[in-house]
């Protein structure tokens, strides 16, 4: 059986990015899910930072996972993946120099593309976890990522939160990331097509959207017309796996009470114990969301 190399998969992603079509990602979190996604015909997958935190640490998405842990999981997937995989590389695990190390490790892991976001992570003392770094620092991270990259087929995508800034600031920020050389722009928090259109008309690079299934952004043809090439609808496959594991083990133990019939969201909340982390953040960092 012929297999695609990491560079083949990166070229496939570049072709996807250069197309006139909007594609939906499969959430891949381990080798089996990557194989399943490719077999079902998905054109692209994504390893989410939040999912990696759940998979590796059993912890909520509070920027607790390390680069080494994330890269190990990406490597396991990269060994078998036969579809291009995007890595959600968070903030690059530190400053611009840490970003360079992140690029080296994830390129070696075999990812086809990765996103570097401008969120201030981990949350600083007294600051919200949604705060952004300044544009100059964000530009520096993108430039550092490009410098560290060896295989230019691997796409480096700048990510920002369009939902917490005035639209003119989003436009200015994304334009500067584009000018710095980012291969694409990824945005979370886009509200609807009017919001997207205001931003997209000022950009020429391909766009990625983290929509979480937003019903106001469910027209693939219109998304494609506005330059969106990839949408990330969420990580339903992983949460379905959590639910299936719980139900299987509950049945094995013959536990059939109404209180035990929890949803995937409720199960995730129960077993990651986010209240503990929130309490610690308030006690030791004076961070209140």
Distance in angstroms (rounded) separating the CA atoms of residues 12 and 279: 45
Residue 172 annotated as part of some ligand binding site: no
Distance in angstroms (rounded) separating the CA atoms of residues 249 and 64: 28
User: Cα-atom radius of gyration of the chain, to the nearest Å?
Assistant: 19
3-class secondary-structure state, position 198: helix
Residue 50 annotated as part of some ligand binding site: yes
Distance in angstroms (rounded) separating the CA atoms of residues 51 and 56: 8
Answer yes or no: are the C-beta atoms of 28 and 95 closer than 8 Å: no
Number of Cβ atoms within 10 Å of the Cβ of 277: 15
Residue 173 annotated as part of some ligand binding site: no
Distance in angstroms (rounded) separating the CA atoms of residues 39 and 37: 5
Residue 19 annotated as part of some ligand binding site: no
Distance in angstroms (rounded) separating the CA atoms of residues 195 and 162: 9
Binding-site positions for substrate? 50, 159, 235
Binding-site positions for Mg(2+)? 88
Binding-site positions? 50, 88, 159, 235
């Amino acid at each position: 059986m012929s297999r695609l190399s990491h560079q083949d998969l990166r070229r496939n992603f570049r072709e996807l990015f250069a197309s006139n079509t909007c594609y939906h990602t499969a959430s891949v979190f381990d080798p089996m899910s990557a194989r399943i996604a490719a077999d079902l015909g998905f054109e692209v997958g994504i390893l989410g930072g939040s999912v990696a935190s759940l998979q590796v640490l059993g912890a909520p998405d509070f920027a607790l996972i390390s680069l080494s842990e994330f890269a190990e999981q990406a490597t396991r997937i990269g060994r078998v993946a036969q579809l291009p995989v995007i890595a959600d590389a968070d903030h690059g695990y530190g400053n611009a120099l840490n970003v360079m190390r992140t690029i080296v490790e994830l390129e070696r892991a075999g990812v086809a593309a990765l996103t570097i976001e401008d969120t201030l992570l981990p949350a600083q003392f007294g600051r919200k976890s949604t705060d952004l770094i300044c544009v100059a620092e964000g530009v520096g991270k993108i430039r550092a990522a490009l410098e560290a990259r060896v295989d230019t087929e691997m796409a480096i995508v700048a990510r920002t939160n369009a939902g917490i800034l005035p639209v003119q600031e989003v436009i200015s920020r994304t334009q500067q990331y584009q000018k710095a050389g980012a291969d694409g722009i990824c945005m979370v928090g886009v509200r609807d097509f009017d919001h997207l259109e205001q931003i997209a008309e000022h950009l020429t690079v391909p766009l990625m959207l983290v929509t979480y299934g937003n019903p106001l952004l469910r027209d693939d043809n219109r998304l494609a017309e506005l330059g969106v090439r990839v949408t990330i609808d969420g990580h339903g496959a992983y949460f379905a796996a959590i639910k299936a594991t719980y139900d299987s083990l509950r049945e094995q133990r013959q536990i059939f009470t109404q209180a035990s019939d929890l949803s995937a969201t409720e199960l995730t909340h129960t077993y990651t114990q986010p209240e503990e982390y929130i309490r610690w953040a308030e006690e030791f960092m004076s961070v209140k969301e």
